[in-house]
Chains A and B, each alone.
Chain A
Amino acid sequence: MRYLLLISADEVTAQERKVAGAYDRFTEWMADLERRGVLELHAGLHPSPTATTVRVRDEEVLLTDGPFVEGREQVGEFALINCRDLDEAIEIAAGHPATAIGQVEIRPVRDA
């Protein structure tokens, strides 16, 4: 099963915690993913104020400065994994340091 992990948190808090060293476990988390051999793709994102949201209405391209959902909680990272089942995905998600302050949404990926 393939899952997209959407890792989100309060961006300000996450930044503070990062500086305070709370994300040191992140290295362990990535190592665990490598060890399990489940990681297909992982990327960290720049903060949400750098986002641009695009809509097309009446054939006109409309741009918004910022993410499509406003708010303090924003996706800051994602990972595409291929693992056994939801239980393994939950185990992996629960190991991510962001879960202590924010959350990880696990979305099953559709078959091609």
Chain B
Amino acid sequence: MTGGDPVAAVLDAVFRAEWGRVVAAVIGAVGDWDLAEDAAQEAFAAALPAWRRDGVPDIPRAWLITTARNRAVDRVRRARVGAVKLRGLAGEAVTDLDVDLDSLDSGLTDERLRLLYTCCHPALSVESRVTLALRTLCGLSTAEIARTFLVPEATMAKRLVRTRRKIALAGIPYRVPPAHLLPERTTAVLHVIYLMFHEGYAATAGPDLIRGDLCDRAVDLARLVAELMSDHPEAAGLHALLLLLDARRAARVDPGGVPVPLEDQDRDRWDAARIGAGLATVRHALRREQIGPYQLQALIAACHATAPTAADTDWARIARLYDRLLVLVPSSTVRLNRAVAIAMRDGPQAGLDLLAAAGDHPLRPAVHADLLRRAGRAGEAATHYRVAVGAARNDAERAFLTRRLDECAEADGAPAGPVPPAAGPDGLGGLGGLGGLGG
């Protein structure tokens, strides 16, 4: 809440954009995550009165980093004096704290990257990685993260404490990993960003389909990693994918919050700038000729983004891209999406045939129901929609599936015949070509 206060508005924007950099810079200087966060928080708190009094500094970030660093360093100095006294009493040798107090103003970019790689270390659980990245890099409060994952705030606070403690006690290095570890670790980083976006794109619980704030943070992080890892085509691929998917945001739900299927979306409401940026980014990534899952998914999303109408969608190309993706990622999600693409190319029965071999997946009942509906088998479709409604991940999806269920149940009583092509919703069963992740 900025309440029309221009300084508060600036600070709000700076917080969103720079929190991660400030924390990263202070961790880099003092090596203590808790201290760095406390100091960053104090600096942001001190900024409001100071900037109101003296005006907003030319480079707000530099002001914040300097202030936060000074506070952190003060505390380290005080702690050091205390420690020296204690050790003196105990008759132990006094060793200097291994802290370079002045190595701060260079390599900020690298600091953020170090922070990201450390947050995403594979020795941490995937949950912990996502949580820590949101807290430390994106500046979400513990309460906000707790709401996102629908756990009590105390639980989330404990998880954060546990994660930071593990980083410190287990000796997880604060660095960008060396070359021989980099490909594997970068994959872990991209995965965390992807999960963050996916949670925002199709929330796993709660009232809304889309959590725009999470999508924004994930797109920001993806851009950052793509910039910093400019020779890693999958980083650019992920950034492109997220831009292309996020471009549809405004069209993905109706005013009542119910999901709108991809083929029914008003394409004029897609974000043309994001689509343009996404297409340029994927083109750039492909130049390195090292295709990977994110680039393939970005290409699939690009097929949708460039089709002037749903009827113009090049399903043959999308099906081929899923063939390639399946080789790299033989998961049930990819099988499910591929079945849908092939159904759109060759007819619903072709998809139903593939579905049998697709394996278990939370979205399978919804996809199964949709293919039956398209095949004009409304009665069977209704049966599967009933299962799908029970498995829906959020209220918005549930509302959509219930509407479909009602339509099919009604059609079942009416004369049978093929249903005109409408679609499964974007975000349900991947009929939107949602990058092999069903969301």
Contact = CB atoms under 8 A, between A and B. Distances in A.
A86 B172 CA distance: 5
Interface in A46-66: none
B413 interface: no
B181 interface: yes
B171 A85 contact: yes
Nearest to A111: B169
Interface residues of A, number: 10
A87 interface: yes
Given A87-B177, A87-B181, A108 B170 contact: yes
Contacts of B418: none
Contacts of B170: 86, 106, 108
A106 B122 CA distance: 14
Contacts of A22: none
B173 A85 contact: yes
A104 to B, nearest CB: 13
Contacts of B172: 85-87
A100 interface: no
Contacts of A86: 121, 123, 170-173
Interface residues on B, range: under 10
Interface in A33-54: none
Nearest to B174: A85
Contacts of A85: 171-173
Given A87-B177, A87-B181, A108 B171 contact: yes
Nearest to B122: A90
Interface in B140-193: 169-173, 177, 181
Nearest to A106: B170
A90 B170 CA distance: 11
Interface in A1-57: 1, 3
Q: Kindly name the residue among B121, B169, B171, B172 whose own CB sees the greatest number of chain A CB atoms within 10 A.
A: B171
Contacts of B171: 1, 3, 85-86, 89, 108
Interface string A73-96: 000000000001111011000000
A107 to B, nearest CB: 9
Contacts of B123: 86, 90
Nearest to B169: A108
A108 B123 CA distance: 13
A79 B181 CA distance: 24
Contacts of B169: 108
Contacts of A90: 123
Nearest to A110: B169
Interface of A: 1, 3, 84-87, 89-90, 106, 108
Given A87-B177, A108-B170, 13 more contacts: A84-B173, A85-B172, A86-B121, A86-B170, A86-B172, A86-B173, A87-B172, A87-B173, A89-B171, A90-B123, A106-B170, A108-B169, A108-B171
* Chain A to chain B: the 6 pairs with minimum beta-carbon distance, closest first: A1-B171, A85-B173, A85-B171, A86-B171, A108-B170, A86-B172
22 contacts: A1-B171, A3-B171, A84-B173, A85-B171, A85-B172, A85-B173, A86-B121, A86-B123, A86-B170, A86-B171, A86-B172, A86-B173, A87-B172, A87-B173, A87-B177, A87-B181, A89-B171, A90-B123, A106-B170, A108-B169, A108-B170, A108-B171
